[in-house]
Amino acid sequence: MSSMGIAIAATGLSLVLIFVWMISLSMRKQRIESERKAREQAYRRAMQKAREQERQDRLFKAETGHIPTILFLAKEAERENAKQALYWYDKAAKLDNVTGMYGVVRMSERMREDVVLKEQANFWRTAISGMEGDVEAKFATGKALVFGRGTEQNLTKGVQLIEAAANEGCIAAMLYMGEWQLSPENLSGHSADALYWFMKAAEQDSADGKIQVGLCHLNGVGTEMSMVKGCYWLERAAESGNAEAMCHAGEAWKDTSKTGNAIAYIWLFLSANLGYEPARALRDEVAGNIGVDVVVGLQSIAKPLQRKLASGMVKKHSIIRALNKVYKRDSYFPSTEELSEFSNDAHHQGESILELESESNMMDSFEQAEPTRQPSKEALDFTQNFLSPQQSTK
């Protein structure tokens, strides 16, 4: 073979080798690109799986009460899905989170046409006020939970909030807790606990609290039955001008004795004249038992007493002490020890010696009066012990 032929053969072989190399290189690039795409797809799948797992983990944490996660999901959904955001804010709110409560109110205001959401927003506004220290709002929130008003019913949580409000000084909550202890719905209620809460309200000068304490003593609810203690608390409420308390006091004294009917008539007369309808029939029934002369005498006592009550000038225990002395009733005034069981407030730790002396002097001045009318001995005695000298001579 000539040298030219050898050269041509070598060139052809070189071209073949170059072609093979280019094909090999192309296939390698394709393989590398395919591997890169496969890795990218695997990475995307892994990332998607990780994100899905993260989402599932986040949902799990949120559904199980992790508040930061709940708020994150709520804020994330607020931009595009108002209902979803409302769901998460509501969940946070029910876990007593104030941010969640504000979120519910904000989202509800965006959907003003929804009446249910409007009630729900009102509920959470009240709840926010309660969380921020308004005990009346806390009590209102508790009642709303008990009855399911503006929110899902939650009896246990509602009673807990009401008890918290009662412990913070809300008188209405104290009275509710007393009634709750006696409610047939409260299977774990105790009558002694009812008396405790009613007494707490009475110690805050609540007429309703005093009435309930009096009825507890009269009926033996949470304590031993005691006519003396029961009438004391009813008359304490009556001294403040409470017509219902007057009626209960009159009913308690009715038909106990001759003097008991006299006392009953005075309280029932006052209650009826203040417009308390249940007292009218009882007053007339007592009047029929004691006679016209006694009724006239007792009315001469009750009418100026009514004016004095209306003026708000009746001092603590003044009527009770006068009745005790005139009708020789058993005397009862709660001791410091009794009151301290319910309150450490110095204002409710009994009466000072100065106060007692002042009332004693007042009663002495009553006894020095000489009324010109003497409709009956009982009327005379009571008038002398209660009316001022100026009133008794008119």
The DSSP result for 254-278, as a single string, is: TTS-HHHHHHHHHHHHHHHHTT-TH
Separation CA 38–CA 7 (nearest Å): 46
What pLDDT is attached to residue 43?
A: 86
C-alpha closest to that of 91 among 83, 140, 81: 83
Separation CA 229–CA 215 (nearest Å): 9
pTM here is 0.75
249 neighbors 231 (Cβ within 8 angstroms): yes
Per-residue three-class SS string for 60-93: HHHHCCCHHHHHHHHHHHHCCCHHHHHHHHHHHH
Average pLDDT over residues 381-388: 48
Separation CA 173–CA 162 (nearest Å): 6
Average pLDDT over residues 314-325: 90
- Measured over the CA atoms of residue 142, residue 145, residue 147 and residue 151, the dihedral's sign is positive
Q: What are phi and psi of 344, to 5 degrees?
A: -100, 10
Q: Given pLDDT bands bounded at 50, 70 and 90, which one contains residue 341?
A: low
What pLDDT is attached to residue 377?
A: 52
pLDDT digits (tens, 9 = 90+) for 65-115: 999 999 999 999 988 898 899 999 999 999 999 999 999 999 888 877 778
Q: Mark residue 133 as left, alpha or beta (left: phi above 0; alpha: psi -120 to 50; beta: remaining).
A: left
Average pLDDT over residues 270-278: 96
What pLDDT is attached to residue 390?
A: 42
Work out the mean pLDDT of the chain and round it to a whole number.
84
Tell me, what amino acid is at 260?
G
The number of beta carbons lying within 10 Å of the beta carbon of residue 15 is 10
pLDDT digits (tens, 9 = 90+) for 176-213: 999 999 999 898 889 999 999 999 999 999 999 999 99
Q: Look at residue 339 and tell me whether its pLDDT is greater than 80.
A: no
Separation CA 270–CA 390 (nearest Å): 22
With a pLDDT cut of 70, the percent of the chain lying above it is 86
What pLDDT is attached to residue 55?
A: 84
Q: Given pLDDT bands bounded at 50, 70 and 90, which one contains residue 117?
A: confident
The tokens describing 194, both together, are 């009812």
With a pLDDT cut of 90, the percent of the chain lying above it is 55
78 neighbors 102 (Cβ within 8 angstroms): no
**More confident position, 53 or 370:** 53
Contacts of 251 (CB under 8 A, 6+ apart): 264, 268, 282
Helices (H), the chain: 3-63, 67-78, 82-93, 98-110, 115-131, 135-147, 155-167, 171-182, 191-203, 207-219, 227-239, 243-253, 258-273, 278-290, 292-311, 318-326, 336-340, 353-367, 377-386, 389-392
C-alpha closest to that of 176 among 198, 154, 151: 198
252 neighbors 234 (Cβ within 8 angstroms): yes
Q: What are phi and psi of 114, to 5 degrees?
A: -90, 110
User: Whats the size of the chain, residue-wise?
Assistant: 394
Tell me, what amino acid is at 341?
E
